[in-house]
Structure 1
Amino acid sequence: MPDPTPYELYGDLFVAVQMGRLCDDGKTFVDARPRGEPAAIRARYEAERGEPGFSLADFLHAHFTLPGHGDTPPGPRVGIREHIRALWPLLVREHRTALPGDSLLPLPEPYLVPGGRFRELYYWDSYFTMQGLLIDGRRDLAEALLANFAHLLGTYGFIPNATRSYMLSRSQPPLFYKMVALLHADDPAAGFARHLPALRIEHAFWMAGEDRVGPGEAHRRVLRLADGALLNRYWDERCTPREESWREDVLTSQAAHGRVPTEVWRDLRAGAESGWDFSGRWCADPTDMATIETTAIAPVDLNALLAGLEGAIAQGAARQGDATLARDFKQRADTRRALLHTRFWRGDAGHFADLHWRHPERPRPLTAAALVPLYLGLARPEQAHALAAQVQQHLLGPNGLLTTPLHTGQQWDAPNGWAPLQWMGAQGLARYGHTALARDIAERWCASVHRVYLDTGRLLEKYDVTQDRPGGGGEYETQDGFGWTNGVYVAFREGLLAACG
């Protein structure tokens, strides 16, 4: 990979800092900037580490500039909409030139960070952030985000999880085509035609190796079921601990008795690519992260999004007059949509679910990911009707949509609710005529966000949807800022809720 990661740059020094917990957050050191040439710092560490009185903490602070936490100061208390408008410029960053030893990747245009410890551009976050930017008259920033993602596709052949060297081995849910459609709302096909090369690059990334995968096999992000059906999974090119969570991943692998550590690390990394890091959804035993098996699961939301991407390419090709390409990708989209109905629909339970591709007979639980096919218009009306009943019974909390009904201590499980899932869930239900339930989800979530704002003065990355308080669980403290919460709150208040009266 062209951009060396902090582990590759610093070796034993990196391991010592991360395993020794010299920083409260594992992301701090990987985001630090060296005060000198990385090779020289590493050599100096190797020379000095065995000397009497050597202090690793002193060495760290002498040779690196550590990032601040990045919290946005609350400032004087104002109305929530005014607060969000004031937050947009505070979340804007520019970084056009690569710096030696810095993990931050350069981008040609300004971009928005989510907030808190998230000091870089994130892929799927940005789509939901863009919803609010457009409503608040910041189309310039939304267009800059799209240009940056197109640049990443052209530079790396995919959009990384985030713009850090240590995240260049994985992506996130493929929403670039939805960004294009959002910014070309009057004529999405024209947008798809304009961005057709970039859309095809992203599709090629997800489908790499499809021609070499036999029945019952998988290669990178592609898998083929025993009967030949082609699907996708999350993956990561590396099988080492995540550099930003090195210590946590090492400890998880040590608790995974009988498993090869590299297998555990790959599954943890694949879970990070999903954006749902982490959830019992990915585990054989939902209460035990050491049983994580992300790469054994074909996720319903990923495959629905790829059906949407294939349909977008078909539309763009048709607009350009390439009938052969349009026909090929329409067939791909139609085939994948049929697989959503036959492999991911649980008629016995009345909901879409992930598929354990090695053991397709194993039933998978209901999660908010089941609503993504509705969001994309890929479900049958009777499926949407059945799923609405399941959501009402199992996923609707007092303050919005539960991520899953599982109580595991992981942040992408109960009792947490997340902005992107509120948006896709409510929009999907409204698309199929379940407007009362859609409005209920949006109203409950927005009202809770507002109440927590009045109490704390902050917009947060996640919320407890069973009571008025920040979400919790997972590997780090709940962050504030916060890009996608701001975007979805604005879009609900001035979009879906306004339309529903």
Structure 2
Amino acid sequence: MAAVSSGAASLFCEGPLLHAVQAMGVFKDSKTFVDMPAKADPEHILKAFSQLAEDDKTSVQALTAFVATHFDDVGADLLPHSPTDFVVDLPFITTIRQPDMARWAAALHALWPGLTRQVSPDVKANPQRHSLLHRANAVVVPGGRFRESYYWDSYWICKGLLVSGMAQTAQGVVQNLLDDVKTFGHVPNGGRLYYTQRTQPPLLSDMVLDLVTATTAEGTTTGQQENGLAFLQEALPVLEQEYRFWMLQRSVTIAGHVLNRYWCDAAAARPRPESYREDLATSAGDSGVLAELTAAAESGWDFSSRWWLKGSSSDGTGDGGGGGGDGGGDAAAAHVGQLRDTQITRIVPVGLNAFLYRYETNLAHFCTLLGSPDDGTTYGTAAEARAAAMLNLMWDETASLWRDLVLPPAADDASTRTTAFVGCTQSEHVTAACFVPLWAGEVFRREATVAALLSSGLLDGGGGVMMTSLVASGQQWDMPVSWPPLQWLIVEGLRATVGGKELADKLALEWLRSAHQAWAETGFMHEKLDGQRTGGVGKGGEYEPQVGFGWTNGVALDWLKRYYSDSAAAAASPSLESSVKEACAAGC
């Protein structure tokens, strides 16, 4: 834990008070307590807790009173913030010819001020009283219970901000993440102390790429281009630092190929503070299960049958994986299980390695932009090696898609973050992740994969949008749920693939139709959709579905601009301009 936050950890990450409040279920949502700022320093509060009668330490009523005395309201250290680059009259909205789409785009644009926050100065002055991390710049939160910034959410949030003409706010969001790398060596899962021991899918280099591209696009001034390159000059060594984290602490060697996985050391595992009660129930105190739950949260796919392997610790029947061979077991059995069966540290995810391929190619590109192409040679070589490894190990020639790998049980206690394995097997799970490499680069774009997606079953839910998996486990990263980031990644990959543009356009327009209908029916933007009903809201998982919603807004704005904006259109009618202003007035 970072030294500046070690005091706060005794309240929000571990210790007797955290255990008592969470284990007794004082709050319906475990995240509530760990988001409440303390009114006094931890030692004072913990001393007061130690002086409670033993019966009071297991009394919901007494604990509720104790928390009310010693902690402020949840989220009190996040202040409203009006972004200075937000403008009501966004030009692209007035070029949308369809009134219902224009009104929706205006409403989405108007949501940004309500999702933008400034971290209270007290977080910097008294970090020991807060789980919230200090931020030099304003943050844009997803919404609902997610009151802080999140790593991979920020990629699509920034895309939406750029469509909304809010490049300054977007750059601040990215700069916060770059600052995190300087502080922690990686980007934490989210902007809370209890998230700092894990990360999320590594998309920071693509966020920087989007900002640099925006400043060097046609029509930008020389000054903007110079500022963009200056930003890149500062960002590049930080990106290199994050890349080293992944290669030093999250890599595996398989038959000479280096790839990456998500990880948590069982020796350091503990219940996730924001899901403490749930993790206690799932793990029954098993540190190995706790490590797997934490690593799955790091993946962003928390949780999914994708991570379940037959014969995990919950039933004691063996160590079989999804694809036979070293892993053992058959496909049907691999899909049967429960949350306790998560064994993500034995899985080398295809999506993660696609993201890191992008990271390597982006680093090489950045070196060239800054006039030092030779410095990027190492990254270009690493990207080529990764692509070769993925082709050799992850490509399923018969099915024409990319698959996760299942590692055999480690020969040692698997306590190290970098481990060498002799072999592996391909997972039998068919999920949206099998098609994410289409987005990562030309080397992964196979025309046959377009047909494979069509026949995969992921598009057959009936709701017009792509489902995440074919397993109805009740977990939120499974059938029938459809997630905006996965939809976006695969659509963008299809668009660049021979024979894929027609399907890409169809999926994007169907997703827009479903997201718009959900908004029209409920008045909210949702974090996920239902793949079995157009306009349906996604459910399942360990918390109630949330509204807001950052990455959904970003995907919607990006595609509304692509599919509905007409830059050659004449000046919009007064009714459209009025709808924009009305929506902004209601949302600001």
- TM-score (structure 1 length as normaliser): 0.89
**Using the alignment, how far apart are the partners of 1:372 and 1:379 within structure 2?**
13
1:216 is matched with none
Give 3-state SS (helix, strand or coil) of 1:230's partner.
strand
CA distance in 1, matches of 2:75, 2:538: 23
* Contact preservation (8 Å) 2:36, 2:75: no
Taking the aligned partners of 2:143 and 2:16, their CA distance within structure 1 comes to 30
Q: Which of 486, 509, 513 is matched with 1:421 structurally?
A: 486
Tell me whether 357-366 or 423-432 shows the greater mean CA deviation. 357-366
Aligned to 1:412: 477
Counterpart of 1:224 in structure 2 is 253
Matched residue, 2:10: 8
Between the aligned partners of 1:361 and 1:371, the Cα distance in structure 2 is 18
Asked if 1:66 corresponds to 2:73, the answer is yes
Output the amino acid matched with 1:81: A
- Report the AA paired with residue 151 of structure 1: D
Matched AA of 2:32: T
For residues 43-96 of structure 1, give each alpha carbon's deviation from its aligned partner in whole angstroms, at most 9, with x where no partner exists.
Answer: 1111113267981221121211231699x9xxxx99322221221000001115
Q: 1:321 to 1:251 in 2, by over 3 A?
A: same
1:337–1:378 CA contact under 8 A, matched in 2? no
Partner of 1:445: 511
Distance 1:140 1:442 in 2: 28
Which amino acid is the alignment partner of residue 281 of structure 1?
Answer: R
Residue 265 of structure 1: aligned partner: 290
Mapped contact 1:6–1:243 kept (Cα < 8 A):
no
Q: 1:80 to 1:253 in 2, by over 3 A?
A: same
Distance of aligned partners of 1:336 and 1:497 in 2 relative to their CA distance in 1, 3 Å threshold: farther
Contact 1:367 1:405 survives alignment (8 Å): yes
> Once the 2 structures are TM-superposed, how far is the Cα of residue 233 of structure 1 from its aligned partner?
0.5
Tell me the distance in 2 between the aligned counterparts of 1:233 and 1:497. 39
The residue correspondences of 1:174-193 to structure 2 (distance < 5 A) are 174-185=202-213
SS of 1:93's partner is strand
Q: Structure 1 stretch 188-197 or stretch 119-128: which is displaced more?
A: 188-197
Residue 22 of structure 2, aligned match among 10, 18, 26: 18
* Offset at residue 158 of structure 1 (A): 1.1
Which residue in 1 is equivalent to 2:244?
204
The 3-state SS of whatever aligns with 1:469 is coil
User: Contact 1:7/1:14 (CA < 8 Å) preserved in 2?
Assistant: no
Query: 1:442·1:497 contact (CA, 8 Å) conserved in 2?
Result: no
Q: Is the CA contact 2:302–2:476 (under 8 Å) kept in the aligned structure 1?
A: yes
Q: Is the aligned partner of 1:350 residue 2:375? A: no
Q: Deviations over 1:170-222 (max 9, x none)?
A: 111111111111112265995755522011011011111xxxxxxxxxxx411
d(CA) in 2 for partners of 1:276 and 1:51? 39
CA distance in 1, matches of 2:205, 2:563: 21
Gaps of 5+ in 2: 81-99, 218-227, 311-334, 409-422, 567-588
Cα displacement (A) at 1:496? 5.2
Q: Say whether residues 1:169 and 2:193 are aligned partners.
A: no
- What is the aligned partner in structure 2 of residue 213 from structure 1? none
CA contact (8 A) 1:439 1:497 kept: no
Letter in 2 for 1:452: A
Aligned to 1:153: 181
Distance 2:443 2:378 in 1: 22
Structure 1 partner of 2:416: none
Which of 486, 489, 497 is the matching residue for 1:432? Answer: 497
Equivalents in 1 of 2:373, 2:515: separation in Å?
47
Q: Is the 8 A contact 1:341 1:379 kept in 2?
A: no
Give the deviation of 1:371 after TM superposition: 2.3
SS at match of 1:55: helix
Question: What one-letter code is carried by the residue in structure 1 that aligns with 2:291?
Answer: R
Aligned residues: 476
Is this contact kept in 1: 2:403–2:426, CA < 8 A?
Answer: no
Q: Which amino acid aligns with 1:453?
A: W
Match of 1:253 among 266, 283, 302: 283
Q: Contact 1:161–1:273 at 8 Å: present in 2 too?
A: yes
Once the 2 structures are TM-superposed, how far is the Cα of residue 250 of structure 1 from its aligned partner? 1.2
Is 1:457 the counterpart of 2:523? The answer is yes
- How far does the alpha carbon of each residue in 1:442-464 deviate from its partner, in whole angstroms, 9 at most, with x for none? 11111111111111100011111
Q: Is the 8 A contact 1:241 1:250 kept in 2?
A: yes
Equivalent residues in 2 for 1:272-351, closer than 5 Å = 272-285=297-310, 286=335, 287-322=337-372, 324-351=374-401
What aligned pairs does 1:10-159 form with structure 2 within 5 A after superposition? Answer: 11-50=15-54, 55-67=62-74, 79-95=103-119, 96=121, 97-98=123-124, 99=126, 100-159=128-187
The 8 Å contact of residues 236 and 363 in structure 2, kept in 1 or not, is answered as: yes
In structure 2, distance between residues paired with 1:469 and 1:49 = 49
Identify if the C-alpha distance between structure 1 residues 447 and 51 changes in structure 2 by more than 3 Å, giving closer, same or farther: closer
Cα deviation, residue 497, structure 1: 6.3
Amino acid at match of 1:333: A
Contact residue 404 and residue 426 of structure 2 kept, 8 A: no
Offset at 1:388? Answer: 1.5
Q: Summarize the Cα distance change of 1:118–1:236 in structure 2 as closer, same or farther, 3 Å threshold.
A: same
In structure 2, the residue matched to 1:469 is 536
Task: Give the alignment's Cα RMSD to 1 decimal.
Answer: 2.5
Q: Percent identity?
A: 36
Tell me the TM-score normalised to structure 2 length: 0.77
**2:458 alignment partner in structure 1:** 395
The one-letter amino acid paired with 1:249 is: D
Measure the CA separation in 2 of the matches of 1:380 and 1:65: 50
Alpha-carbon distance in structure 1 between the residues aligned to 2:531 and 2:512: 11
* Divergent runs of 4+, >6 A: 51-54
C-alpha change, 1:323 and 1:134, in structure 2 (3 Å) is closer
Q: Confirm or deny: 8 A CA contact 2:39 2:129 kept in the other structure.
A: no
Moved more, 171-180 or 194-203: 194-203
Q: For residue 149 of structure 1, report the CA deviation from its aligned partner.
A: 1.4
Q: Give ranges in structure 1 of 5+ residues lacking alignment.
A: 209-219, 255-259
Question: Is the 8 Å Cα contact of residues 352 and 366 (structure 1) preserved in structure 2?
Answer: no
Query: How far apart, in 2, do the equivalents of 1:50 and 1:423 lie?
Result: 53
- For 1:311 and 1:271, how far apart are their aligned partners in 2? 26
User: Which of 535, 554, 558 is equivalent to 1:487?
Assistant: 554
User: How far, CA to CA, are the matches of 1:33 and 1:195 in structure 2?
Assistant: 32
Q: Taking structure 1 as reference, are residues 7 and 323 closer, same or farther at Cα in structure 2, changes over 3 Å only?
A: closer
CA distance in 2, matches of 1:266, 1:419: 27
Is the aligned partner of 1:386 residue 2:456? Answer: no
- Asked if 1 retains the 8 angstrom alpha-carbon contact of 2:435 and 2:490, the reply is yes
Does the aligned pair in 1 maintain the 2:358–2:441 contact within 8 Å? no
Report if the CA contact (8 A) 1:34-1:101 is conserved: yes
CA contact (8 A) 2:394 2:426 kept: no
- Structure 1 residue matching 2:252: 3-state secondary structure: strand
Deviation at 1:374, TM superposition (A): 0.9
What is the alpha-carbon distance in structure 2 between the residues aligned to residue 38 and residue 6 of structure 1?
Answer: 7
Alpha-carbon distance in structure 2 between the residues aligned to 1:421 and 1:447: 17
Q: 1:372 aligns with which of 411, 427, 436?
A: 436
- Measure, in 1, the Cα distance between the counterparts of 2:109 and 2:425: 49
